[in-house]
Amino acid sequence: MPDLSGYWLGAVMENSRPLSLDRRNFVVGATALASALAAPSILRAQTRELVVGAASSQKSWSEEIMIPAFEKKHNVKVIFEGTRSLVNLEKMQKNKDKQYLSVVQMDDPVMITAVAEGLLDPITTARVPNAALLKPNLTHMDGMWVNYLQPWVGIAYNTAKVTTPPGSWAEVFDQKFKSRVILPSLQNTEGVLALFIASYLKTGKPMSEAQKDIDSAFAKLVEMKPNVLMSYTQEAQAYNLLEQGEAYLVAGAISSVAMARKSRGAPVELAAPKEGTFSMPSGIALVKGGPQPELAAAYIDMLISAELQSKISAATFALPVNKTVAAPAGLENLIIHPVDWANVSKNRASWVARWDRELSL
């Protein structure tokens, strides 16, 4: 039996080539075929469509809340092409002369690349009025992209093993959690955020400055080594260990993931540390030269509107981006510190190499 690993992790990491590059052509072709075969469909053939190059992790609320509301209001069919950021970037690069995506969801670091290659159109308050209601720090590079939600990282804990919720990041380093803590690997985005938190704890600097001091971050993580049970790349494994009680804490747990486990009945709870935290990069942008530009702007406008934000935020436990919407109960005082993603993109590879060396067994 060969080690099927590459196949498996490859699939998980979604490194696959963009398979759906021609999906729109297929849809158009299929529609044409259907019209040819069924005469009454002439009436339907006029239905407009909007293709969103989306983040597959955001599929459930997109399909349950956002898309039905948008389709109803604008009488349009939304095609949700859920994939990962780099694939969306590739789709835009390959179709630069004739874009078929109108809206794109990508991680902030990938947005920086897309801006540099001139693939995005700025989001202005003239086109997207609700952009004026965004919280500070959520509009990037003069409106080239905005954040549509703030899933945050906290401390997930096993409620059977930890009875007092950890209120501070410092508790993760407490001796009582010797070899019971799971960290995200630096290969995962939330691992980068955990690194910044370590730096903050070591230096006591404000989080915005602490994220520049990576030497201190590693110094703190090395101190923490005895507490680290493992560092995960596959979140399913991390939560498995947490729910079985082999691990007590996941420090750097993504809110949406932890809450999804909790809602399925797992003995897991998520604590929001008093020092504040970071949010996972969740950007949305208008594709330059994409079809249906007005609809594309309307899509983003609706997504960041007060009505949709309060629904999505309640469903995912993420913080809303619209300042007129209240945070979910219990998160009213949670501070989200901005991240310098350009700095992350530039240094990520060297941090990963350093992690190998300094955190190895």
Partner 1 sequence: MSDRTPDRVALLALPALVYMVIVFAIPVMVLIGRSFFGPSGLSVTPYIDFLSDGFNWRVIFNTLRTAALTTLVCLVIGYPTALALSWSKGFVQAIMLVAIILPLSVGVIVKAFAWQIVLRRDGIVASLLMATGVWDEPKLLLFTETGLVLGAANIFLPFMILPIYSVLKLIDPSLQHAAATLGAPPVYRFFRLSLPLAASGIISGCSIVFSLATSMYVIPSLLIGDRYQTLPTLTARAFLLMRNERLGSTTATILLFLTIAIVMLTAWLVRRREVQT
Residues that bind partner 1 (CB under 8 A): 1-6, 8-10, 13, 15, 179, 185, 187, 228-234, 237, 240-241, 244-246, 349, 352, 355-357, 359-361
CB 186 within 8 A of CB 344: no
Q: Is 124 exposed, middle or buried (0-12, 13-18, 19+ CB in 10 A)?
A: middle
Strand partners, 336: 277
CB-CB neighbours of 147 under 10 Å:
23
In angstroms, what is the minimal distance from the CB of 353 to partner 1?
8
CA angle, residues 80, 82, 85, in degrees to nearest 5: 125
Structure tokens at 326: 């209240």
Output 127 or 180, the one with its CB closest to partner 1.
180
217 vs 200: CA distance, rounded Å: 7
Which H/E stretch holds residue 312? helix 306-316
In angstroms, what is the minimal distance from the CB of 86 to partner 1?
9
In angstroms, what is the minimal distance from the CB of 94 to partner 1?
17
In angstroms, what is the minimal distance from the CB of 102 to partner 1?
27
Output 168 or 234, the one with its CB closest to partner 1.
234
CB 279 within 8 A of CB 335: no
Regarding beta strands 181-184 and 249-254, do their DSSP bridges make them parallel or antiparallel, or are they unpaired?
parallel
Output 3 or 97, the one with its CB closest to partner 1.
3
Output 214 or 286, the one with its CB closest to partner 1.
214
Residue 184 φ then ψ, to 5° = -75, 145
CB 103 within 8 A of CB 52: yes
In angstroms, what is the minimal distance from the CB of 212 to partner 1?
22
In angstroms, what is the minimal distance from the CB of 11 to partner 1?
11
- Which residue pairs from 95-99 have beta carbons closer than 8 angstroms and sit at least 24 positions apart in sequence? 95/21, 96/289, 98/289, 99/287, 99/288, 99/289, 99/290, 99/291
In angstroms, what is the minimal distance from the CB of 316 to partner 1?
26
Structure tokens at 50: 């909007």
Output 13 or 335, the one with its CB closest to partner 1.
13
CB 233 within 8 A of CB 115: no
Q: Give 37's contacts (C-beta < 8 A, 6+ positions apart).
A: none
Output 9 or 342, the one with its CB closest to partner 1.
9
Output 231 or 316, the one with its CB closest to partner 1.
231
Residue count of the chain: 361
Output 137 or 237, the one with its CB closest to partner 1.
237
In angstroms, what is the minimal distance from the CB of 176 to partner 1?
15
CB 337 within 8 A of CB 108: no
Output 150 or 185, the one with its CB closest to partner 1.
185
In angstroms, what is the minimal distance from the CB of 229 to partner 1?
6
Give CA 151 to chain center in angstroms: 7
